[in-house]
Structure 1
Amino acid sequence: MAKIKVVVVDDSALVRSLLSEIINRQPDMECVGTAADPLQAREVIRERNPDVITLDVEMPKMDGLEFLARLMRLRPTPVVMVSTLTEQGAETTLRALELGAVDFVAKPRIGVASGLQQLADDIVDKIRIAAKAHVRRPAAVTPASATATAAASSGAASASVRSGALGGSPPPAPATPIRLSTEKVICIGASTGGTEAIKEILMQLPADAPAVVITQHMPPGFTASFAARLDSLCRIRVSEARDGERILPGHAYIAPGGNQFSIARSGANYVAVVDDSPPVNRHKPSVEVLFRSCARVLGPNAIGVMLTGMGADGAEAMKEMRDAGAYNIAQDEASCVVFGMPKMAIQAGAVHAVLPLKDIARAIMERVAAAGVRHRI
């Protein structure tokens, strides 16, 4: 079997050396070239024709995001970003995912050598996943937009988007007349490619949509920026889940990186449970943990959605949701970056409908409408 050809682009000679060593230790991959900046990278990529590129966000001579935007426009190639674990690094990483990067690795700010070696398994797993990913040209990508920051994540920007400012009307909501049931809860699980898939669904939901609970595989330090970015773009309010807070309609709650997220009932209310319990299926947060609680607590009031991602996390628990009366949707293969988690959920018999990403929000709201009005204070 042909090895996965990888090109490493990083301005640090130490990081280039470490990543090359980690890659070349694997029997199924090979580092076929390195570059210290995007100008060198263009030549190396042209000569070596890699299957996957690892790309540092902060680069000399050309911003890493600008280079990524040009790459995706001219020569779409699976990219794993190498990011710094800072607030600014998190926002830049999210922008890279918008531009078409498949996934990212967060390198430590200090102790880079030991830190990268500790992350070796994670790095090579992400390269393997990226090699199989469906890479698409993002719409209207330009270098100017690539260098934009996540400043729109402020509360003022969020209010402007909801009111229809910032360049016209907010995203269109489904045209179907909706009668909302506040009992319903939308339960979403995702991994590789999930940040953009989640964004597309949430941007289509109306302000009075049912509550949404989300587990996206993401490390600590990134989910706060992810939630803030979504909050700036959507009609519903989006935040990291906090332990003990009430799950309310018109709000989406994202599992904090490095914690497990589930839901419980407190009297007549649903509440968030965020804790430091161990990884499940190697993940923390794990979709399995959230979906199992949804099966137990919500039963037929849950609408489950399995989005793009590698592996089987959440498939068995989604079957438990179906057995408890939930209605479940899986993203179809054509619109997935990686058709792993949805495929496993389908094979487990957990899914009622398999839909393109663009149709999922509408299907959710039509399902809610069909359920009729059952208000709960």
Structure 2
Amino acid sequence: MKTIKVLVVDDSAFMRKMISDIVNSDPNITVVGTARNGSDALEKVADLQPDVITLDVEMPIMDGISTLKQLMKTNPIPVIMLSSLTKEGTDKTVQSMALGAVDFIAKPSGSISLDIKKVEKEIVSKVLGAAKSQVHKITNDFKVETPVRTMIQNPEKFSDNLLVAIGTSTGGPRALQQVITRLPKDFPAPVVIVQHMPKGFTKSLAQRLNTLSAIQVKEAENGEVIQKGTAYIAPGGFHFRVIKKGASLIAQVTKEEPRNGHQPSVDVLFESLAYLKLYHVYTVIMTGMGADGAKGLTYLKNEKPESITISESKNTAVVYGMPQAAEKTNLVDYVLDLPEISNELINQIKARGDKTWK
């Protein structure tokens, strides 16, 4: 295995030393340099040619967001953001994910975390994962396409028995932004989402997507009625299921043991959909490390073979793990590049409505 070269960027000399020691503890990774702010980092990138950059969100002179924007425009390299758990920190982290950062790590106790070793395994794991990811040059900030509000003609002719479920992980916030913001306001189905993220970050993600989207986007709450034209994101640290109660679909949000290291888990969400006998289900699996979603997809397809599954192609997935695991089940109906996914969902639902209700 080729040694992975890492540039560590943080305004704290203590944090630079601690993160460097953690990264260097793995024999497959070496820190080739450190930088005290974004401006310093950009000067060193050309000389050091790192494979991965760890980038602090909050720094003087040039902060992490500004640095990331410049990197993605001129020299796209897998970037892992390090952020605090404050509201400002989580908001900026979610913004950085949309701008092209591969992943992030929450500092355990603020900007200068004396206990950074608590996340030692996470740092090493995410650097190894980032080295395998693919990032693309971004010529300008992601611009949201204005959804065509009349894309779904006469939405009242659709039954209420439609549901879209999306599972994603590493690289997911940007992928979700490209899918959710393209759904029209009158989208005649609820959208339920599992994005692997810790507590706090999922709320910031939901709020950001809500400001950009025609449909409503929110963090799921236990016991709430799931409505069409709304997207519900599983809160970090909780499993998310959809259950039938009377004539309504209800969000079931529960604190349990992680499933294969994940809480929320895509498998748990997808398995719950198998019990919605009168609902036509569309599932989407996008970028992410690992195989979460593949077992849930298998269970769902066994119970509801008529359900439709889309996976993101290798061409656009930042990390191809989860989509590839889904495709290996031989139960995926469509393998699509990211920009095609929302259109396919809309076309599938339009075709079903035309067939069912004409």
TM-score (norm. length: structure 1): 0.88
Give the equivalent residue in structure 1 for 2:166. 188
Tell me the distance in 1 between the aligned counterparts of 2:139 and 2:312.
Answer: 20
Q: Distance in 1 between matches of 2:66 and 2:103?
A: 17
Q: 1 CA distance for matches of 2:8 and 2:278?
A: 47
Partners of 2:288 and 2:191 in 1: CA distance: 19
Cα distance between partner residues in 2 of 1:86 and 1:55: 17
Give the corresponding residue for 1:135: 135
Q: Distance in 1 between matches of 2:183 and 2:222?
A: 25
Letter in structure 2 aligned against 1:245 = E
**Aligned-residue offset at 1:300:** 5.5
- Please state whether the residue corresponding to 2:114 is helix, strand or coil: helix
3-state SS in 1 of match to 2:315? helix
Is 1:266 the counterpart of 2:245 in the alignment?
A: yes
Letter in 1 for 2:265: S
Q: Quick check: 1:363 aligned with 2:352?
A: no
1:284-299 → structure 2 map (5 Å cutoff)? 284-297=263-276
Supply the AA of the counterpart residue of 1:62: M
* Alignment-mate amino acid for residue 284 of structure 1: Q
Q: CA deviation at 1:76?
A: 1.0
Aligned counterpart in structure 2 of residue 170 of structure 1, from 146, 149, 159: 146
Is the contact made by 1:228 and 1:239 (CA closer than 8 Å) also made in structure 2?
A: yes
| Residue segments in structure 1 that go unaligned for 5+ positions in a row | 146-160, 162-168
Task: Name the structure 2 match of 1:308.
Answer: 287
Conservation of the 8 A alpha-carbon contact between 1:98 and 1:138: no
Letter in 2 for 1:8: V
Deviations 1:93-146 (A, max 9, x none): 1221122111111102358132x211111111111121111111224149xx9x
Match of 1:221 in 2: 200
User: Which residue pairs with 2:258 in the alignment?
Assistant: 279
What residue number does 1:60 align with?
60
CA RMSD across the alignment: 2.1
Hey, what's the Cα distance between the residues in 2 that align with 1:315 and 1:280?
13
Change (3 A) 1:195 1:298: farther
8 A contact 1:53–1:78 mirrored in 2: yes
| Paired letter, 1:244 | G
Q: Is the CA contact (8 Å cut-off) linking 1:315 and 1:350 kept in structure 2?
A: no
Q: Contact 1:174–1:204 at 8 Å: present in 2 too?
A: no
For residues 39 and 171 of structure 1, what CA distance do their matches in structure 2 show? 37
Q: Deviations over 1:53-90 (max 9, x none)?
A: 00001112112211111111111111000011111111
The CA distance in 2 between the partners of 1:343 and 1:172, in whole Å, is: 31
Q: Name 2:29's counterpart in structure 1.
A: 29
Q: Does the C-alpha gap of structure 1 residues 174 and 120 become closer, same or farther in structure 2, counting only changes over 3 Å?
A: farther
Aligned to 1:239: 218
How many percent of aligned residue pairs carry the same amino acid? 41
Q: 1:349 matched to which residue of 2?
A: 330
Aligned to 2:235: 256
Closer, same or farther: CA 362–174 of 1 in aligned 2, 3 Å: farther
Q: CA deviation at 1:178?
A: 6.6
The residue type paired with residue 274 of structure 2 is: A
Q: Does the 8 Å contact 2:167/2:293 carry over to 1?
A: yes
Deviations 1:292-326 (A, max 9, x none): 11123357511010011111001111122222231
User: Residues 74-223 of structure 1 correspond to what in structure 2 (within 5 A)?
Assistant: 74-110=74-110, 112-114=113-115, 116-141=116-141, 170-172=146-148, 175=151, 177=153, 180-209=158-187, 210-223=189-202
Displacement of 1:176 after TM fit?
6.8
Offset at residue 234 of structure 1 (A): 1.0
SS in 2 for 1:201: helix
Cα deviations by residue, 1:233-260 (Å, 9 ceiling, x for unpaired): 1111110000011111011100001111
What's the TM-score once normalised by structure 2's chain length?
0.92
**In the superposition, relative to structure 1, how do residues 119 and 299 fare at CA in structure 2: closer, same or farther (>3 Å)?**
farther
Query: In structure 2, what residue type is equivalent to 1:106?
Result: A
Larger CA deviation: 236-245 vs 102-111: 102-111
> What's the CA shift for 1:171?
2.8
Matched length: 350
The alpha carbon displacement at 1:38 in A equals 2.2
Q: Is the 8 A contact 2:99 2:174 kept in 1?
A: no
Partner-residue secondary structure (3-state), 2:96: helix
